[in-house]
Amino acid sequence: MKENSFKQIIHKLSFAGKNRRSLFLEMPDEKRAQVLLHLSKHIQYHLMSSLSDEILVDILNQLDPDEATDLIQLLSKHRQNKIIQQFNNELKKSVEILNQFDPRSAAGLMNLDYIQVGIDEKISDAIKQFRVHEKRTGHLPVILALDEGKLKGYLPGHKLGFAKLSDRVQKHIRKIQVIRYNATHDQVVDLFRTHPHNKIVVMGNKKNIIGVIYADDILRALKEEETSALYDFAGVHDEESVTDGVMVKVKHRYKWLIINLGTAFLAASTVGLFNEVISKYVLLAMYMPIVAGMGGNAGTQTLAVLVRGIALNQIDLKTVWPTLRREATTGIINGLVNGILVASVVVIFNKNFKVAFVLGVAMVVNLFVAGFFGTLVPVIMKKLGKDPATSATVFITTATDVLGFMVFLGLATMILD
pLDDT per position as a tens digit, 341-354: 999 999 999 999 99
CATH 1.10.357.20 in the chain is located at 246-416
Residue 377 confidence (pLDDT): 93
Residue 401 confidence (pLDDT): 94
CATH 3.10.580.10 in the chain is located at 109-230
- Partners of 326 in beta bridges: none
Query: What is the mean pLDDT of each successive set of 10 residues along the chain, which is 417 residues long?
Result: 72 84 91 89 88 94 90 93 92 91 89 94 94 88 93 93 93 94 87 82 92 83 60 53 71 78 88 91 92 92 88 83 94 96 95 94 96 94 79 87 94 89
pLDDT tens string 165-187 = 999 999 999 999 999 999 988 88
Residue 244 confidence (pLDDT): 67
CA–CA distance, 383 with 199 (Å, rounded to integer): 32
Residue 224 confidence (pLDDT): 62
Backbone angles phi, psi at 174, to 5 degrees: -125, 160
Backbone angles phi, psi at 207, to 5 degrees: 60, 30
CATH class of the domain at 109-230 = alpha beta
Asked if residues 348 and 361 have their Cβ atoms less than 8 Å apart, the reply is no
Residue 310 confidence (pLDDT): 84
DSSP letter string over 354-389?
HHHHHHHHHHHHHHHHHHHHHHHHHHHHHHTT--HH
Residue 242 confidence (pLDDT): 65
CATH class of the domain at 246-416 = mainly alpha
Residue 399 confidence (pLDDT): 93
Q: What is the architecture of the domain spanning 3-100?
A: Alpha Horseshoe (1.25)
